[in-house]
Structure 1
C-alpha cells in the first residue's frame, strides 16, 4: 500500500515538471460555455492563469455587439490580439460559445437553439479539453495532442512564442473599432508590407509594396519570431538568427507585434503598475520611422496626397478636388466640378484649365504616353475627358486617369512636372473689350425684362406650388433613413436626360450620371410598380436604406415625384459580373473568382440573417452582381421584389420551362423562403467556377445544362475539365464545386443556409459529398 501511495505521489510531482516547458494554462472542461448575457454560473470569457489574457465574447466599445476573440485583460482598453471569423458581422446579444460534451467548439445563435456555427475548421478529432494559456494561445487538446491553436491562425498580431511562418500573413484591421480585414498586409514569403489597392487578399502587385526587410533573396524557410525578451528577428530552418529587427528589453512583462490600421508594423511592450494593471510603454518600435509617415501607401485615400509634417502627416486635396469627408481626410478626394457637364461644352471656352502641382510625387499609371511640348501636353489633357492629370518629363506627356493614388509631397527637387485638370470661370476680359460686353449685357437684360414681366406671373405660382410640394415630401422623408430625396429635375440633369444607358434589369432601366460634386451615380428608373405603391415604395426604402455591408451596392437616395420612382445608387466602375466573367478578355483569374464568390455569399448572408429586417433577394444572378474598381462584388436590386406585382416576381428568369436561376419551388406554388436565394447562388457559383453560362446550347449534349455537367465531372473525379488549362488550386476547386452542388439541391430543406455556405467556402466548416441534384426529378 505504501508503495502505491509513493508511486501516486511521484506521478503528481512529475506532472508539473513535464508541463514546465509550456506556459501555464487555464484548462476548460467539456460542457463549459460562455454567454453574452452572463448571469449566475454563466460568464462571458475565460482567463489565463496570470490573468493577462482572456478568451471569449469580446464586447465592442459603445455597441451591443461582440466578437469571439482573445484580448489583454489587464490593459485599460482591453486590447484585442486575435479574433475568429473576423470578416463576419459582429454578434448580437444572446450568442453563446459552447465546448460541447462531444468535443466540438461551437457558437449558438439566440434565434434558434438548433442553429449552431462551428468556430474551428477541420475539427475532425474530438476535443478532450481546451485551454487559454499564459502566452495568449487558445488551444484545443485531444488525448493524443493538439487539435487546434489560435497561434496557427494569426489576424493582425503575433505574441511571444507565436512564430509567423513562411506561408502566413498578417492583415491590419479595417479601423480601430472594426476588426475585419483592412487594407494592409504583411506577407512572409517575400517579407514585405503591402497596401491592398485592389481589395484582393491573394493578388497583389509589387508596386503596392512600401516596405521590405532588404534581406538578400526570398527564402522559403524563414520564420518571423518574437522572443519573450522582445527581440524580433528572422530564423531559418537551421535555427540561425538573421535580420534582427529590434533588440531585447527585459524591463517589460509582455510584448506584442501588430500590423496597425495605418499600415505600420510595431512592437509594443507592457509593464505592470503597483496595482497589477498592465500599462503600455511609450515610443513603441516601428518598421516605418515616424519621421517618414508618407512612405506608407494608401494612407490618404484616392485622389489625395500625403504631406509630411515632422513626425505626423496630413491628407490634402490637389487643385480641382475637395475632401469626400472633411472629418476624415483619409477617405480621399473628389472633383469639385462636373466633368460630364464641362466635357459636353465646346472646347476652349475657358471652363476647364490645368494647374501645376509643385513637388508632387505619384505612381506613374499612364493610360497614354505622348511626345509633346509642355503647352501641347497641357492642352492634350484639356481635350481628353478621361484625363485628370499629366506628368511631364523630358518631352514625355503621361496622361493619368482617375482614381489617382499614392501621391505625396516630395521634400526634394523633381525632374517631372505635374499638371492637374481643374474647373474654372472664364477669366476677366481685357479693358479694351470690357465696355462692349457690358453694353451688350444691358441691352439683353432690358429685352429679357419685358418678356419676364409677361410670363413671370404665370409660372411663378406653379413653381412655388411645386417647390412647396417637394419640400413637404422632403420633410416626410423615408423614416429612420439617411437616404437623400432627389427631384426628378436633378436626376435629369445628372444623367443628361438619361443619355447613357448602363443596361436593363428585372426592375427597370439603369443610367449613368454625375452629381454636381463630381460623384458618379447609377440611376434606376423603376417600372411595373404595384398599384397604390407609394406607401409600399417608401416602406421598402426604409428597409433598404438601413442596410450597410461592403458586399451590397449602396443606395444613396431616391426620387418619389408624381409618377416617377427612381433609385440612386453608387456607380460601379467595372460593371456587372456577367459582363466581366463571360468575356474571355476580361475573365477574372481563379484567385479573384474565389474572392468574388465569398464576397457574394457574405452579402446574401447579411440580407438573410444580419440586417435589421430579413430580405429575400429573389433575383440572384451575375447581372445583379456589380464590381467596383477593386473588383469587390456588390449585390444590387435587393429589397425590390416586394415592390413588384406577383406575376412579375414569378418571372424573373428569361428561361421559361428550363432550369435557370429560379428555384423549383417557384413553379410548384411551394412556400418561398431564403432557400430560393441559396439555389440561385448555387447556380451562379457554378458559373463563376466554370466561367460559362448555366445553359449552353452549343455545348456537347452532356454539357448543355451546367449543374448536371458539373455533377458528372465531380462524380467521375474529372474536375479539371471544368476549368480547362487554367491553373487552379484543386482542393479549393473541389470545395467550391461541392458547395455549389449542395446549393442547387431540388429539396429546399436539403440546401444549406447562407451562413453554412460562407463557412464552407472560407474553410471553417467541412463540406460533405453532395448527392445528385437531379435525384428527385
Structure 2
C-alpha cells in the first residue's frame, strides 16, 4: 500500500455548494480557504489539501479526482513551500500583472505571502491582465486565459507536471524556452516536495526518455520511439489502454497519451520507488490497480535504499538494513523514503595507525555493490580480509577463488541487492565491516572474541551436549512413529504430506479408478483415511502417477515439489502431498468432483451458462496471473487447455498441472509431444523451436477463450445452418478468424455457442473475443500479460480491435481464402 499512498490525500472539506461549483478564478473573485473549483463535468477538483497521514499543519494547492472515494492528487502547485493554515489563504489572479498566484501564511511568515505563482514571462502578458481568468478543465488541466481573448492560454498546469501524468497531458521539452516538462517523485508519502527520482526526455535531442536519480544518474531508459511505442514497452500496453503519441515540432518534442474509452480512469505516476507505474481505477474493487511498471525490477532503481541499504525484491518493503545497521531516519522509512540509507549501530574503532578491533559479518547471496576496487596482491580470503581491515576507509570486501580475486569497497556502499538461490541468479558473499561491539550484539565473535567464544563453549559444552543427545533421540522416535505422515518443513514453509506407496495404492484400490491422463502421466481417483482427534474422516483425492521424469533425482524432485506446495490460490488445484522413490513418483491433489472443462464444452451433455463461462474465463486468467506474477518465481504452465482446467462444486475453475514443466524440466526442442504442450494451443515461437516465456501461456489461454465462447474446438467446422450462412455444409474455417470477423461486423450473437440460445451478454462476448485475439498475436510483445488480461475481462480497461495474426491466415481453407480475406482486411483496418 505504501507505493500508492504517496498520491493519496486528505481533502479539506467543502461545505458550501455554490462556491464549490465555481468555474473560474479571477481578480475580483479569488478562491479562498476551503473553497474549491470543480470541472464542468465534475471529473476534477482544485483546492487546498493536506497529505494523508500528516498532522494537518501543511497545505498545498492541488488537483485531484473528484468522484473517486480514495483521494488521489495529480498535480501540486506549491510543492516545496506549504502553507501553515488555510483560513487566510487564497488563489487569485493578480490585478497588477495577471499572474495566477497562491497567497497565505507559512511557518516562516505569519503574514500572507506569495508561495506560488504562474510566473508569466513578459512576452506572455496579456493586454488586460486584470481580466485574466483561471479554470479547471475536465481533463485535469488548470489553465490561465487572456482576459481579452479567451482562446489565448497564457499558462497551464499540463506544461508543469509534478509526479503524475493524466491522459492528454504531456512530458517532453519546450524548445522555445528550453524547459523540460518532466515528472519528479514526491519526497515521501506525506511530502509532495520534489524527490530523488526524475523522468525526462533525452537532453541530446533523441526521442528517448531517461529515468534519473537526483537528476545525475540514469538507471533506466525507455528506448527510442518506434512510431507506435517505445522500444522497451509492450504493444499490448499501448493498444489495450492508450493511444500513445510522440510528436516533435520546431516548438516542442513531447509524449502524450489518450485513453480509448473516456470511462477508463487511469494515471501514470513516478512513485517513491523510482518506478513509473500505470494505474487503472477498478470500480468493482474501489481501488487503483497497477497495469504496467518500468523498470520492471524494483531493485534496478539506482540507490533506492540509500547508503548501506539492502534492496530485497521479495520483501514486503523494498528496503531493509543489514544486521548491525539501522535506518538513518526511522521516520523517513515509515513514509517510504529510504534514500537516507542505514548507519551502523556501533561506531567503528579503527585508528589512523591501522589499529582496530573491527571484524566482518558475511552477507550471503547478494549482488555486489558499485564502485569496487580490485586488490591484486591479495591471493586468499585471509589476505583480502587483512587488506581491508588494515585500511580504516575500507567498508567491506569480497573474495572469489574462481577468478574474481579480492575486491574491496571504500566509503558508503550503494545498490546492495539480496539474491536467492532458487532465482537462477547466483550471488556472492559480501563481508561487511562492523565494530567488535556490533558483532557481539549479533552473537558473533570479533577479532578479539575468539578466545571468549572457546571459554563459553567449555562452560556450556557438556550441558549442551546432553540436551543435544536427548533431542536427537526424541527426533528419531518421532520419525519412526510418524514416518508415514511426516510433513515437509523446509525453508519455504511447505506443508505437503509425504505418502508411502502403500498409502496411495490402498487409497486408489490398486489404481483401479482411472480419471484421465496425458503426457505427464495418468490420474486415479482415491480416498485417504484421516484421523482428526477422535474422529476418522475420508478425503477424496486425485493421484497422478508421473511419467517422463528422466533421470531426475529424489532430492531435486522433493525440492521442486516443495516449491509448488507453497503455491495457494483459489483458481489453482491444491497440491496435498507426494510420493517419491528412485523408480516412481506420484503427486496427490485435491479431488474436483465436476472433472475437467472439456467434458462440459465438448462432451455433448449439459453445457455451462454464459455467466458460468465468463466466470471461468476470469478465474483461469487470475490463476495464470498469479503463477506468472504472484509467485517468487514466474511459473509457466506450458499446457493450458480445457483438459487441464478443473471445476469444483460451484463451477469455479481450478488450473491443474501447473508447475509440471518445472518438475520435468522444460525442453524447448521442436518435438511436439503432449508433455511440452498440445497442438492447437501452442504459440508460434514454440512451434518454431524458440525459447518460450510466460507469453506462451497467454497464447494458449486465448485459444481456450475462443472455445469457451463457441463451445467447440477451435478447428471445428461451421455448417451453413449453424454459422456461415452462405458457405456450403462442407466448408471449414478456423474459429478465431471467423469469430473476429463476426464481431467486427456487429454479429456478436452469432459467435456464441448456439446451445446458449442467445442468453449472453453481448458486451462480454465482444470483450472476450477481443481479448482472445490479442492473446493469440504472432509476436510475444503484442500479447498482453495475464495481469492485463484480468483487468480487461473485469472491464477495468477498454479493449479495442486487434490485428489478425498472420500465422492464422494459412489455417483458412484455401478454397475459401478469398471469402475470408474481407474479414481479415476489416479487422486490420479497424486497428
Query: Smaller-chain TM-score range?
Result: 0.3 to 0.5
Rg bigger for which structure? 2
TM-score, normalisation: structure 1: 0.43
TM-score, normalisation: structure 2: 0.41
